[in-house]
Chain A
Amino acid sequence: MWSYALRRILSTIPTILVVITVCYLMLHLTPGGPFDSERKVSAAVLANLQAKYHLDMPLWKQYLYYLNNLLHGDLGASFRYADWSVNDLVARALPVSLSIGGISMIISIVIGVALGIVAALKQNSLVDYFVMLLGNVGSAFPSFVIGPVLILVFAIWVKWFPAGGWDEFSPKYMILPIVLLTFINVSTIGRVMRGSLIEVMNTNFIRTARAKGLPLRTIVMRHAIRPALLPVVSVLGPLAISSITAAIVTETVFSLPGIGKLIVNGAGNRDYTLVLGLVVLVTVLAVVLNLLVDLAYAILDPKIRY
Chain B
Amino acid sequence: MKLSMKLIAGAVALGFAAMSGAAVVPAGVKLAAKQELIRNNGSEPESLDPALAESVGANNIARDLFEGLTANDAAGKIVPGVAESWKQTDPTTWVFKLRKNAMWSNGTPVTADDFVYGWQRFLDPKTASPYASTYGIFILNGLAITEGKKQPSELGIKAIDKYTLEVKTEGPVGFMADLVSNTQLGPVNKAAIEKFGKDWTKPGNLVGNGAYVLKDWQVNSKLVLEKNPKYWDAKAVVLNKVTYLPVEDGNTDVKLFQSGENDWVYQLPPGTYDQLKTEFPKDIRNAPMLGLRYYSFNNTDPLMKDIRVRKALSMVIDRDILASKVTADGQVPAYGVVVKGTAGADVTAYDWAKWPMAKRVAEAKKLLAQAGVKPGTKIKFSYNTSEYHKKMAIFAASEWKTKLGLDTEMENMEFKVLLKKRHDGDFQIARNGWVADYNDVTTFLTLVQCDSDQNDNKNCNKKGDELIKQASTTLDPVKRKTLMTQAAKVIMDDYPMLPLLQYTVPRLVKSYVGGYTKTNSMDRFRDKDLYIIQH
A53 and chain B: residue at smallest CB distance? B128
A74 CB within 8 Å of chain B:
no
Interface of B is mostly: loop
Question: Are A84 and B219 in touch, CB under 8 angstroms?
Answer: yes
In the complex, A163 Cα to B261 Cα: how many Å? 8
Q: Are A82 and B249 in contact (CB under 8 A)?
A: no
Contacting B44 at CB < 8 Å: which of A44, A81, A254, A256? A81
Would you call B47 an interface residue if the criterion is a C-beta within 8 Å of the partner chain's C-beta atoms?
A: yes
Residue B13 interfacial (CB < 8 Å): no
Is B477 interfacial (CB 8 A cutoff)?
A: no
Q: Is the CB–CB distance between B256 and A257 below 8 Å?
A: no
**Which residues does chain A contribute within 8 Å of B129, judged by CB atoms?**
45
Shortest beta-carbon distance from A82 to chain B in Å: 4
A255 to B245, CA, bound (A): 9
Residue pair B419, A148 in contact (C-beta under 8 Å):
no
B251 on interface, CB distance cutoff 8 Å = yes
Of the listed stretches A4-12, A29-37, A235-243, A275-283, name the one at the interface; the rest are far from the partner chain: A29-37
Could you say which of A51, A155, A261 contacts B255, with CB atoms under 8 Å apart? A155
Asked, given contacts A32-B419, A45-B128, whether A148 binds B255 with beta carbons under 8 Å apart, the answer is: yes
Is the CB of B161 closer than 8 A to any CB of chain A? no
Q: Is the CB of B132 within 8 A of A165?
A: no
Q: Write the B122-165 contact mask toward A (1 if CB under 8 angstroms, else 0).
A: 00011111101110000000010011100000000000000000
**A127 interfacial by beta-carbon distance below 8 Å:** no
Given A82-B47, A151-B259; A164-B128 close (CB under 8 Å): no
> Binary interface profile of B, 23-64, with partner A (CB < 8 Å = 1, else 0)?
000000000000000000000101111001010000000000
A256 to B256, CA, bound (A): 13
Q: Which of B148, B220, B251, B261 contacts A162 (CB 8 A)?
A: B261
Known A-B contacts A48-B128, A82-B49; the reply to A261 vs B220 at CB < 8 A is yes
Contact B130 A35 (CB under 8 A): yes
B219, A41: Cβ atoms closer than 8 Å = no
> Chain A 252-266 against B: per-residue CB contact (8 Å), 1 yes, 0 no?
111111100110010
Which residues of chain A come closer than 8 Å to B133, judged between CB atoms? 41-42, 44-45
Q: Judging by beta carbons under 8 Å apart, are B44 and A156 in contact?
A: no
B258 interface residue, CB < 8 Å from A? yes
Contact with A along B242-272 (1 / 0, CB 8 A): 0001011101100110111100000000000
A164 near B261 (CB under 8 angstroms)?
yes
Check B453 for interface membership: any CB of A closer than 8 A. yes
Q: A2-40: contact bitstring with B at CB < 8 Å (1 yes, 0 no)?
A: 000000000000000000000000000011110111111
User: CA–CA, A82 to B47, complex, Å?
Assistant: 6
A159 within 8 A of B: yes
- The reply on B454 being an interface residue by CB < 8 A is yes
Q: Is the interface of A mostly helix, strand, loop or mixed?
A: loop
Give the complex CA separation of A40 and B447 in angstroms: 11
- Assess the A40–B258 pair: CB atoms within 8 A: no
| In the complex, A191 has a CB within 8 A of chain B | no
Q: Is B241 an interface residue (CB 8 A)?
A: no
Determine the distance from Cα of A166 to Cα of B423 in the docked complex, in whole angstroms: 39
Report which of B130, B202, B415 forms a contact with A49, defined as CB distance below 8 A: B130
The answer to whether B256 touches A255 (Cβ under 8 A) is yes
A32 touches B416 (CB 8 A): yes
Structural contact, B130 and A45, CB atoms closer than 8 A: yes
Is A80 an interface position by the 8 A CB rule?
A: yes
B83-128 residues at the A interface, CB under 8 angstroms: 125-128
B366 to chain A, nearest CB (A): 36
Please state if B417 and A31 are interface contacts (CB–CB under 8 Å): yes
B379 to chain A, nearest CB (A): 22
Contact of B219 among A31, A39, A51, A81 (CB under 8 A): A81
Residues of B near A49 (CB, < 8 A) are 128, 130
Given A40-B453, A166-B218, verify A51-B128 contact (CB < 8 Å): yes
Our pick among B48, B259, B414 for the contact of A156 (Cβ within 8 Å) is: B259
Given A32-B419, A45-B146, A48-B125, is A159 in contact with B219 using a C-beta cutoff of 8 Å? no
A162–B415 alpha-carbon span in the complex (Å):
32
Q: Could you say which of B48, B132, B255, B420 contacts A151, with CB atoms under 8 Å apart?
A: B255
Which of the listed residues B128, B202, B245, B258 has the most CB atoms from chain A within 10 Å of its own CB?
B128
Contacting residues of chain A (222-278) with chain B, CB-CB under 8 angstroms? 252-258, 261-262, 265, 268-270
Q: Residue B221 contacts which of A41, A43, A165, A265 (CB distance < 8 angstroms)?
A: A165
Whether A42 pairs with B420 at a CB distance below 8 angstroms is no
Docked-complex contact B48 and A83, CB < 8 angstroms: yes
User: Closest approach, in angstroms, between the C-beta of B149 and any C-beta of chain A?
Assistant: 9
A41 touches B255 (CB 8 A): no
B417 touches which of A32, A42, A48 (Cβ 8 Å): A32
Instruction: Please indicate the chain A residues that have their CB under 8 angstroms from the CB of B146 in the complex.
Output: 42, 44-45, 48
A163–B259 CB distance below 8 A = yes
A43 to B451 alpha-carbon distance, docked (Å) = 12
A303 beta carbon closer than 8 Å to chain B:
no
- Pick from B47, B54, B128: contact of A83, CB below 8 A: B47
In the assembled complex, A117 has its CB within 8 A of some CB on chain B: no
State A84–B48 Cα separation when bound (angstroms).
11
Contacts of B419 in A (CB 8 A): 32, 36-38, 40
Shortest distance between the CB of A253 and any CB in chain B (Å): 6
**B128 — which chain A residues lie within 8 A by C-beta?**
45, 48-49, 51-52
* Complex interface residues of chain B between 215 and 250 (CB less than 8 A to chain A): 218-222, 245, 247-249
B52 to chain A, nearest CB (A): 6
Q: Which residues of A contact B54 (CB under 8 A)?
A: 37, 39
Q: A32-B420, A52-B128, A82-B47 are in contact. Are A39 and B454 (CB under 8 A)?
A: yes
Chain A residue numbers with a CB within 8 Å of B259 are 151, 155-156, 159, 162-163
Is B433 part of the contact surface with A, judged by Cβ < 8 Å? yes
A184 within 8 A of partner (CB): no
Residue pair B256, A268 in contact (C-beta under 8 Å):
no
**B264 → chain A closest CB, angstroms:** 14
Query: In the complex, which residues of chain B have a beta carbon less than 8 angstroms from the beta carbon of A42?
Result: 132-133, 146, 453
Q: A31-B416, A270-B416 are in contact. Are A148 and B251 (CB under 8 A)?
A: yes
A255 touches B252 (CB 8 A): yes
Q: Given A31-B417, A51-B125, decide whether A165 and B261 contact each other with a Cβ distance below 8 A.
A: yes
Contact A163 B258 (CB under 8 A): yes
Flag if B130 contacts A37 (CB, 8 Å).
yes
**A61 at the binding interface (Cβ < 8 Å):** no
Smallest CB separation, B233 vs chain A (Å): 27
B37–chain A nearest beta-carbon distance, Å: 15
- Asked if B416 and A254 make an inter-chain contact with CB atoms under 8 angstroms apart, the answer reads no
In the complex, whether A287 has a CB less than 8 A from a CB of chain B is no
User: Which chain B residues in 420-475 approach chain A with CB under 8 Å?
Assistant: 420-421, 423, 433-434, 437, 453-454, 456
Residues of B within 8 A of A268 (CB): 414-416
Instruction: Determine the chain B residues whose CB is within 8 A of the CB of A269 once the complex forms.
Output: 416
Asked whether A44 lies within 8 Å of B148 as measured between CB atoms, the reply is yes
B169 within 8 Å of A by Cβ?
no
Residues of chain A lying within 8 A (CB to CB) of residue B134? 39
B201 within 8 A of A: yes
Contact A93 B46 (CB under 8 A): no
Contact of B52 among A30, A82, A252 (CB under 8 A): A82
* Contact yes or no, B132 A36, CB < 8 A: no
Q: How far is the CA of A26 from the CA of B16 in the complex (A)?
A: 58
Return 9 A-B CB contacts under 8 Å, by A number. A36-B423, A37-B419, A40-B419, A41-B130, A49-B128, A81-B46, A81-B219, A163-B256, A256-B220
Chain B positions within 8 Å of A, measured between CB atoms, are: 44, 46-49, 52, 54, 125-130, 132-134, 143, 146-148, 198, 201-202, 218-222, 245, 247-249, 251-252, 255-256, 258-261, 414-417, 419-421, 423, 433-434, 437, 453-454, 456
